[in-house]
Structure 1
Amino acid sequence: MKKLLPTSIAGSLPKPSWLAEPETLWSPWKLEGEALEEGKKDALRVTLQEQTISGIDIVCDGEQTRQHFVTTFIEHLDGVDFENRKTVRIRNRYDASVPVVTQAVTRPKSVFVEDAKFLRSQTDQPIKWALPGPMTMVDTLYDDHYKSREKLAWEFAKILNQEAKELEAAGVDIIQFDEPSFNVFFDEVNEWGIAALERAIEGLKCETAVHICYGYGIKANTDWKKTLGSEWRQYEESFPKLAKSSIDMVSLECHNSHVPIELISLLKGKKVMVGAIDVATDSIETPEEVAATLREALKYVDADKLYPCTNCGMAPLSRSVARGKLEALSAGAEIVRQELTLKRSA
């Protein structure tokens, strides 16, 4: 029998201090050459063990082998110049120096497949693997070749589809596409963003997910959140169309956010990864706080479609805080699981 309320995390976990600088996004590697490759494998083992011991049901790589959730993938593509960078506005929020698309983008070889095979060899639990979504990739570059966000997104979608098929063949159970841009560029989401996402998942037999959130707990994101008012209704723009799409699961940020929980009802029929852990604070949730978020969500999504999760990745947090949050997520889900079992047997 399939476990009710299977827990997972949205993406990243902190890296061990011997691999990269702790509590830092874009943290440079402390190792190089063969030592770095060995170190990354060790970090995968460690992050897997931390999830397993904490009771996480659907495990992931914690993004231990990549510096950034978007750029690491792009680094492995041809047609992108990382030397002559340009400054662009990322998600209408902050300026960043980014690589430039100078010619047609192609993927000469797989990016994460060997890492996924290694993780698969270490565990019998279901594995989720995150890839950047096409729209968010477009928003992390300066395009000097296609001169069209939509055309570039379509090319990225084709490349992502190649990678996703190889990840599926490597034994990945759920492939998640990270699309924080879906909370910003509403017209583009409906015009071509969801279509590009569907192109990225074309032909996959494993489960697929899209993760949409309000970002890591970095200052640029927390400052932006302060401008969103008392109700964050951004999901309202994309959920109705996502509900009609072929994506299996949708992830959203719930705990300590101003997202009206009833927006989940716009995803009728989909599995929903409910963010019950706030990644923008060092304060560790109690199991009861997690349970309260899940109980609210259950008013709008069936129990067999609810997947307790974190709001976003936890790379910028300390390992002890991240571990505490994983344990709280598992314990909170277990409280609600027990309540549901009692109800069913009553």
Structure 2
Amino acid sequence: MKTLLPTSTAGSLPKPSWLAEPETLWSPWKLEGDTLAEGKQDALRASLHEQQLAGIDIVSDGEQTRQHFVTTFIEHLSGVDFEHRKTVKIRDRYDASVPTVVGPVARQKPVFVEDARFLRQQTDQPIKWALPGPMTMIDTLYDDHYKSREKLAWEFAKILNQEARELEAAGVDIIQFDEPAFNVFFEEVNDWGIAALERAIEGLKCETVVHICYGYGIKANTDWKKTLGSEWRQYEEVFPRLQQSSIDMISLECHNSRVPIELLELIRGKKVMVGAIDVATNTIETPEEVADTLRAALQYVDADKLYPCTNCGMAPLSRAVARAKLQALSAGAQIVRQELLSR
């Protein structure tokens, strides 16, 4: 029997302090060589165990084997030079030193497939794997070759499709594409961004998700949010076209955000991963707060299509805070599940 309101995380979970610097994005590894490979697997097991103890239904690797949700994938591609870096504005928000595209981009070999296979061996639960979306990938690079955001996005879409097909074959049940850039470049999203995403999921039989959030709880993002006014209506620009797309599920930020909940009406019919945990604060939600967010979403999302989730990844948080937040997510979902089943 299918679980009602199955819980999951949007992506990253904190890494153990013996593997990488805690509460830091892009934290360098503390191990190397074979010890690092073993350490990553141990961290993946620990992350999985914490999700299971918290009662999470759809589990992930917690992104334990990668330093960053976009860059780690790009590091494995040819045509990108990590030595020659340029400073660009990421998502029109903050400056970052990024690698340069110097030639045709290509995937020489699978990037995450072995890790996914390893996760699959550890559990019988449904597993979800996150990949960067094409538009967010191009936003994290300086392009000195294609000279066209759209052309580069299509190349990345083809590469992502190769990886996604192999992840599916390795036993992944849900593949998520992280596209925070969809909250910024609205014209491009509607012109070719969603089409590029559809190219990335071509031929997949597993479920597919696009995750669109307002970013990790880092200063550049929280500062940006302060400029967005009393209502965040960014989703309004892209939801109508996403509702028509072939992507199965849409993951979004709800709790403690100023997103008007009625915008969910625009994606009626899609499965929705509702962010009910704020990743930009160390305050632990109560189960009742989580339940309130889910009840509000249920006005616009059918119960069998609602997937309680975190707003974004939790890599910058401490393990104790992340653990407590996962427990709150589970407990809050259980409250609403009981209400629905007793009707």
Same fold (TM over 0.5): yes
Distance in 2, matches of 1:126 and 1:278, equals 24
Q: Which residue does the alignment assign to 1:51?
A: 51
Alignment of 1:87-166 (within 5 A): 87-166=87-166
Are 1:216 and 2:221 matched, yes or no? no
Gaps (5+ residues) in structure 2? Answer: none
**One-letter amino acid of the structure 2 residue matched with residue 173 of structure 1:** D
Deviation at 1:55, TM superposition (A): 0.2
What is the alpha-carbon distance in structure 2 between the residues aligned to residue 89 and residue 23 of structure 1? 23
Mapping 1:140-219, distance limit 5 Å: 140-219=140-219
Identity percentage over the alignment? 84
Give the match for residue 314 of structure 2.
314
State yes or no: 1:244 paired with 2:244.
yes
- Secondary structure of the 1:251 match is strand
- 1:84 and 1:141 mapped to 2: Cα distance? 11
Give the equivalent residue in structure 2 for 1:269: 269
Alpha-carbon distance in structure 2 between the residues aligned to 1:43 and 1:209: 25
Q: What's the secondary structure of 1:87's corresponding residue?
A: strand
The yes-or-no answer on 1:326 pairing with 2:326 is yes
TM-score w.r.t. the length of structure 2 is: 1.00
**1:67 aligned partner, one-letter code:** Q
Q: State the Cα deviation string for residues 167-190 of structure 1 (Å, max 9, x = none).
A: 000000000000000000000000
- Per-residue CA shift, 1:259-311, capped at 9, x if unaligned? 00010110011000000000000000000000000000000000000000000
Superposition TM-score, scaled by structure 1 size: 0.99
Which secondary structure does the structure 2 equivalent of 1:189 belong to? helix
- The residue identity in structure 1 corresponding to 2:151 is K
Give the distance between the partners of 2:64 and 2:292, measured in 1 at CA.
31
Partner-residue secondary structure (3-state), 1:97 = strand
SS at match of 1:96: strand
Residue 102 of structure 1: how far off its partner (Å): 0.2
Give the distance between the partners of 1:276 and 1:241, measured in 2 at CA.
24
Name the CA distance, whole Å, in 2 between partners of 1:330 and 1:265.
25
Instruction: Please list every run of at least 4 consecutive aligned residues from structure 1 whose deviation after the TM superposition is greater than 6 angstroms.
Output: none
- Inter-partner Cα distance in structure 2 for 1:181 and 1:151: 16
What does 1:78-93 align with in structure 2 at a 5 Å threshold? 78-93=78-93
Structure 1 counterpart SS, 2:84? strand
Matched, 1:66 2:69: no
1:84 Cα deviation after fit: 0.8
Q: Deviations over 1:222-254 (max 9, x none)?
A: 000000000000000010000000000000100
Aligned to 1:83, what secondary structure does the other structure show?
A: strand
- Opposite residue 271 of structure 2, the aligned amino acid is K
Secondary structure, counterpart of 1:82 in structure 2: strand
CA distance in 2, matches of 1:252, 1:260: 12
1:277 partner amino acid: I
Distance 1:4 1:195 in 2: 31
**Distance in 1 of aligned mates of 2:177 and 2:95:** 23
The alignment partner of 1:324 has SS state of helix
Secondary structure in 2 aligned to 1:326? helix
- Count residues in correspondence: 343
Aligned 1:3-42 pairs, distance under 5 A: 3-42=3-42
Q: Secondary structure at the match of 1:92?
A: coil
CA distance in 2, matches of 1:324, 1:262: 29
- Mapped to 2, the partners of 1:281 and 1:186 lie a distance apart of 28
- For the residue of structure 2 that corresponds to 1:13, the secondary structure is coil
